[in-house]
Amino acid sequence: MARLFYIRKTVCAIREKVGKPYTDKIYYTFKVLLFNFILVLPVPLLLFYISWQLSLLAFHHDFSRAIGVGLHHAAIVLMILQFFKRFLEDQGIAELHFRWQKKTICLVRNQLNWMQFVIIPCIFIMYMTSANNVAEHSNSLGRLGLIIFTTLLFVLAIRLFQPGKGILNDYFIKNTTLWWARLRYFWLIVFISIPVIIFGFAIMGY
């Protein structure tokens, strides 16, 4: 806990130096990235440990081992999402180090804030049922988790890339003469088609 407190204090100190000509250095960015990664580790590491303990059980504890597999993959997704949330926090790396627009940061962060509570359980269910030898579980719960997951990706693609409100809107406005900027509705279709295709395969039972 003391080390985590020290890391948070160091990150706050670096924020004061970033953006100033006489104190800003490139290695601050890499240092904060590393520290943010360390800060998100405690809960995922706990889940990794639990999943590892469950994996050591005898083979006749098949359901417990399946839970361990689900926890393992859920921990990976949790770690990634928490890292991105720290990347997008106020006065964080995205804003201070990479100069992302505040509007873009808020849009992406708001989507992650609510989606994480659905994505992580979906990942857990999908991998748990796929690791379980009982086919009924995989064909019902697993498919349901995949359908919900792809639906979330569909919603995320629409909210992030919709013309006029998405994260690329300002770029399209500033570069209206470029041919790929004129195809902004085409790119939206491309982004949303991927989860739609996966959703269709899940519905059909593949």
The structural domains of the chain, with segments of one domain joined by +, span: 1-117, 134-206
Written as six digits, the tokens of 4 are 């985590």
- pLDDT tens, residue order, the chain (206 aa): 666 666 666 666 666 666 554 455 677 778 888 888 988 999 999 999 999 998 887 665 678 888 899 999 999 999 999 999 999 988 878 887 788 888 889 989 999 999 999 999 999 998 888 877 655 556 678 788 888 888 888 888 888 888 777 787 777 777 777 776 677 777 778 877 887 787 777 776 65
Half-sphere exposure of 169 toward its Cβ, with a 13 Å CA cutoff? 14
Residue 166 CB burial class (10 angstroms; 0-12, 13-18, ≥19): buried
12-31 pLDDT tens trace? 666 666 655 445 567 777 88
Written as six digits, the tokens of 166 are 């998405």
| Cβ contact 157:165 at 8 Å | no
113-137 pLDDT tens trace? 999 999 999 999 988 888 776 555 5
17-23, long-range: CB < 8 A, 24+ apart: 18/96, 18/97, 19/96
Instruction: Look at residues 7, 72, 12, 18 and name the one whose alpha carbon lies nearest to residue 40.
Output: 7
pLDDT given for residue 4 in this prediction: 63
pLDDT given for residue 21 in this prediction: 47
Enclosing H/E stretch for 193:
helix 184-204
